[in-house]
Amino acid sequence: MISRSDCLARDAADTLAPLREQFDLPAGVIYLDGNSLGARPKAALTRATEVIAKEWGKDLITSWNSAGWFEMPKRLGDRLAPLVGAKPGEVVVTDTTSINLFKALAAALHAQSHTGRKVIVTERSNFPTDIYMAQGLTSWLDRGYQVKLVDSPEQLQTAINADTAVVMLTHVNYRTGYQHDMAATSALAHQHGALAVWDLAHSAGAVPLDLHADGADFAVGCTYKYLNGGPGSPAFIWVPERNQDKFSHPLSGWWGHANPFAMAPDFAPTKGIGRALCGTQPVTSLAMVECGLDVFAQTSMQAVRTKSLALTDLFIALVEQRCPNHPLGLVTPREHARRGSQVSFTHPYGYAVMQALIARGVIGDYREPEIMRFGFTPLYTSFADVWDAVEILKQILDDKAYDITAARGAVT
């Protein structure tokens, strides 16, 4: 049996534990929702103040050059690159995940246009905006493209075939925490002549990634979850050097032009990753992304992953040890290789139980149907946090201290 003392001992031995001091976390809260909105690096307020008071307020327009605003999407992309196995000059931080996915999908279809392949394969359980963007792109192109939805990872084996133009998957599922085998699935796509587009929303900063080795063709991701960039901070897009010359997409704005200040009337894409840019970026929100990356620079994704698996293993074990007689169903894979950095349990009153947890300071979230989702971010979550969260869950369940009549609102 695991005890709270065991958890405290593990915290004492945890080399990542000191990083928690770099985050602002409210007292009395166990925050298990960093997979939705990462906690605030303390440095973010300092950085934002510098941008607003000095760079904007004092230096005004000159900051586009003197403060490096123009170069920030590329500079931050280069800083993010090592976390996903990308090379310098392959990532930009810009726009939203949805918009970046649109660019990547469009470029992938463009690269396949000579093949006559018409099908984008993805999962019905993918985060909906990914499916919606694929639907939006293909229905507008109106050339017989289809979005084919599979109902399980296993179905990919038969769904991917000679008609497949693109396999578009979210690497770690937002509800279940299931992690695809990127190398095997990319290889499967390539074997059938398809391209592999990966959404890393729940992977970047959560699990080690090696996009080159794992055969990804394009990827996008989010900076406001595990990367702690701040609410709605701009997303990222990865285009490997080998695919940059053929990276063509319809969102051809001036930031992607070879010479934006020549003000030429015809679009000519710049060389390199810059052609994934479109318009002017929200500088203050963008600048804060660096504060999250600064924390990652003090450790390694391997260290983060080791602790992440220890935290999620512990959470699963403690829930099963301490809440054995409650109707909780583990949704997240037990197999390490198939698990992201979250644990999801179903409960018939999952929504009400999560509301009760939040009221007692354990912040997770809820996703239809019946899924309570707990995200574990090794940079600021302790083993004692896991113990305490499970203890509160146990009390709520034992006491039936949740309101089963609670109306389901917009739980994020």
- Restricted to residues 299-328, the positions that interact with its own copies (CB under 8 A) are none
Give 5 or 280: the residue with its C-beta nearer to its own copies: 280
Is 63 a binding residue for its own copies by CB under 8 A? The answer is yes
Read off the DSSP letter of residue 270.
P
Binding its own copies by CB under 8 A: which of 4, 18, 52, 184? Answer: 52
- Residue 252 touches its own copies, criterion: CB under 8 A: yes
10 binds its own copies (CB under 8 A): no
* Piece of the chain touching its own copies by CB under 8 A; list 50-58, 191-199, 207-215, 397-405: 50-58
Among candidate residues 402, 303, 286, 297, the one with its CA nearest the CA of residue 353: 402
Check whether 308 is labelled as a binding-site residue: no
Q: For 319-357, b where at least 16 C-beta lie within 10 A, e where not — what string?
A: beebbeebebeebbbeeeebbbbbbbbebebbbbbbbbb
- 380 catalytic per annotation: no
Q: Is 398 annotated as a binding residue?
A: no
Q: Please pick, among 14, 78, 199, 365, the residue that the annotation labels catalytic.
A: 199
Min CB(262)–its own copies separation in Å: 7
**The only residue of 91, 165, 209, 235 in contact with its own copies, by rule CB under 8 A:** 235
**Position 261 contacts its own copies (CB under 8 A):** yes
224 among known catalytic residues:
yes
User: Is 192 known as a binding-site position?
Assistant: no
Cβ contact 235:302 at 8 Å: no
User: Is 373 a known active-site residue?
Assistant: yes
Q: What are the backbone dihedrals phi and psi of residue 12, each rounded to the nearest 5 degrees, phi first?
A: -65, -30
With binding defined as CB under 8 A, does residue 114 bind its own copies?
no
Q: Does 263 bind its own copies (CB under 8 A)?
A: yes
Query: Using the rule CB under 8 A, is 359 a contact of its own copies?
Result: no
Say if CB 390 and CB 318 are below 8 A apart. Answer: yes
Task: Kindly state whether residue 407 participates in binding its own copies, applying the rule CB under 8 A.
Answer: no
Among the listed residues 18, 21, 53, 115, the single contact to its own copies using CB under 8 A? 53
- The rounded distance, in Å, linking the Cα atoms of 258 and 248 is 13
Least distance from C-beta 194 to its own copies, angstroms? Answer: 21
Please say which residue, 142 or 335, places its beta carbon nearer to its own copies: 142
Is 132 annotated as ligand-binding? no
Task: Pick out residues in 163-202 that bind its own copies (CB under 8 A).
Answer: 175
- Report which of 108, 117, 121 is spatially closest to residue 147, judged by C-alpha positions: 121
Q: 189 near 167, Cβ under 8 Å?
A: yes
127 is known to lie in a ligand binding site: yes
Q: Which two tokens stand for residue 17?
A: 């534990």
- Contact in structure between 217 and 187 (CB atoms under 8 Å): no
Q: Is 288 in the site for its own copies (CB under 8 A)?
A: yes
In 3-state terms, what secondary structure has residue 143? coil
Given the structure tokens 């929702």, which residue do they identify? 33
d(CA 93, CA 192): 31
Confirm or reject binding of residue 329 to its own copies (CB under 8 A): no
Considering the rule CB under 8 A, would residue 93 count as an interface residue with its own copies? Answer: no
Q: Residues 307, 16: contact at Cβ < 8 Å? A: yes
CA-CA distance, 201 to 236, in Å (whole number)? 9
Give me the least distance between CB of 219 and its own copies, in Å please. 16
Task: Provide the annotated binding site for pyridoxal 5'-phosphate.
Answer: 97-98, 127-130, 170, 199, 202, 224, 254, 280
| Active site (catalytic) residues | 127, 199, 224-225, 373
